[in-house]
Structure 1
Amino acid sequence: MLVAAEASGDALGAGLAQALRVRRPDIDFVGVGGPKMASEGIESPFDIAELSILGWLEGLRAYGRVKARVADTVALAVRERPDAVVLIDSWGFTIRVARALRGALPGVPLIKYVGPQVWASRPGRAKTLAGAVDHLLALYAFDAPWFEREGLPTTVVGSQALHVDMGGGDPTGFRAARDIAPDARLLLVLPGSRPSEVRLMTPVYEAAIKRLKAADAKLEVAVVVAGTVAEDVTARIAAWPFRAHVVTEADKYAAMKAATVALATSGTVSTELALAGAPMVIGYRFAPLSYAIMKPFFTGRYATLFNHAADEEIARELIQTDATPEKVAAEVGRLLSNPDARTAQSRRQTEALDYMGRSGADPSTLAAEAVLNVIAGTSGSNSLSAIGSAG
């Protein structure tokens, strides 16, 4: 059983299903997921878009809905009796599912795929997770010690975001298809994949781009619309007082390679942009009350993974009160006007990806092997051996 509650987890679940099927063609799947997992034959009992929640206040408002979906997920597990359950990312939802499954199906191995970012905030979650599941599939080597100290067997499988194939992305064709000159400066905007991110960040980006367009009327703008929020983002862009090219996920990598500079809401997309060689500025806002509640729990220096891996602010992060149109426009404008700064940042981003394990084996393959080992009862906590096999 594979359980994912948002778009990034849906992609991980689909990749894991494919890798498991290669090793065990007789395997059957049940679970919760989105369209990518559905394409692998995993029919979700509900639409996971309603679980795309971020922030304490938003979580409180959605508590009843989340509780109902946890019950639906557990009911599916009880009915299907899986040999193992893999809970993918989405801490708030999957930890509740894990606790409920402990009581409903006490003998079934529970595997968490992607641990909470305890290096950035709320380190106590490592102990909480260790008490709720049997094994962790971690994305990065710097994750493992936090959980192993709490006695949770951990396998480092690497991040699928580091293994994205950008080869099919054609930046020249992308520009030509949209009548964007080869030498035109192109700003690529990625407003996020959660409704709350789109609601909070899109107005900031619109106001920042107005300033940038006032300084350079020829600046081209393109906006990537994630499938989970495509209608909302497209409608917002249509109301902007300047032209912006709408980019679907099918053309996302071509757009990233074609971009002069990217402006992105913090998330996995920052790693993809770095792989594409796009220098970027990162923005993020929470709802004010949620941020006030959460701020004391933030312990990490950076929100962006490659910044954390390098222990320096390679890409400028504008979080909460710093995420203003004025500051966003200033940082993006600095990169747009300085080719040397763009080249230097792109190089440093690439170097940071190497720290994160870009040269490792395919994460879905390693994750599938770890899941089958857990089912067979041969799992261990030697994350170093997994890193070695990945190298």
Structure 2
Amino acid sequence: MKKRQSFILSVLFVILGSLSAMAQVAKLSSPSNFDPDCVKFDFQEYQAGIQVADVVGKWGVNFQGVATGNPQIHLIVAPIGGAEPDRVLQNQTAPGSNPPLIINFKYPVSKVGFVASNGSDSTTVTLTAFDPLGENLGSVSETGLATEKFIGVRGFSSRGIGKLLVDYGTATEAEQIDDMIIEYVSRPKFTTYLAQVGDAKDLLQTILVISNLSNSTATGELRLFDSGGTPMLLKLGQETNSVFSFSLLPFSSKSFTTEGASEPVKVGYAEIESDTPVEGTAIFRTTLAGALTEAGVGSSVPRPFVVGVAQKTAATGFDTGVAAVNASDQAVDAQVRLYNEAGNLVATNESDLDLGPHAHKAQFLSQLFSTLANNDFKGTLVITSDKPMALVMIRTLGGIAQSTLPVGSVSQ
């Protein structure tokens, strides 16, 4: 009897283990299966015909075709008197081939779904989910795509879904999706920096503008720090603080303006953190001898390698300003290399942009390289660091910001 019970238990454990292994995904049949704070893409804001590999790349979502080019936005024109034209994401297939549409998630998702179409009553769409390590979590399918039909998949792996294949099988029609919904395992925070913020009585104000880049409401904080990385109190509008909350409707923006009353001058940087991709802009408003000037500078993403323009004209007072922010909790070791227009290395600075945790520093080209104090120069700055830094380069006249100088990197 005991042997029989032991055998039954062993079989039961095997069955339960098999079911557990198979129960890595579940089919979702409605948008109501997603939480209210999920992220939605309807593709309506994009022009027809564009390739869409990275159109929502800031969300960590990438669309990929197989050997036939990137998927494209496709325009569906309704019959006369019908609804407005619809824009959908359509896989690009070559004659005689039917490779799947691939969706990659930089930030793993627990759920993903969309409206599938462009098929027939017999067309079957299959969603196959993989975790970030490449393990096949399983598949779900739906048949009958003569009309739009919602299909989604939920992954039960603690690692989430890192890749999804959307496959119409042997059908000749291209995979086509719309109204995509994703729910992250852990919703990412999107952080960007305004590497230079200043305020001086009767001389300088900084207008900080935050713009929502998506069709989702953006909620987050604007945080101000001095050059040592300590919270910096400033009056923005009617509130004096170092942290300012914001909530931005889709594609809206909000401006925060310093009072222009700091004495002595306050200098530092701003960190913008949001649950939705946003863009930041710092507009420096200077009043000097009764003349008002403004110059705008975009936000920066921390990178370990940055290349920018370096220019200086001694006679007119034009110089290049570099502002750097250490975005990490550890000290950063940075090197600044100066190249002339021919690409020859002219000088190297090994220490002036070394920064403590969350510290900030602003230097002119003539300060980084004293040999340029009384000389003209045109060339390139290459800044490398052992930890990512947020940098901006500004063209100045007599120390006053005039325009942004381009900054680029092969780092993403």
Give the TM-score taking structure 2 as reference length: 0.25
Q: Whose helix proportion is higher, 1 or 2?
A: 1
Please tell me whether Structure 1 or Structure 2 has the larger radius of gyration of its CA atoms: 2
Higher relative contact order (CA 8 A, sep 6+): 1
More strand by share: 2
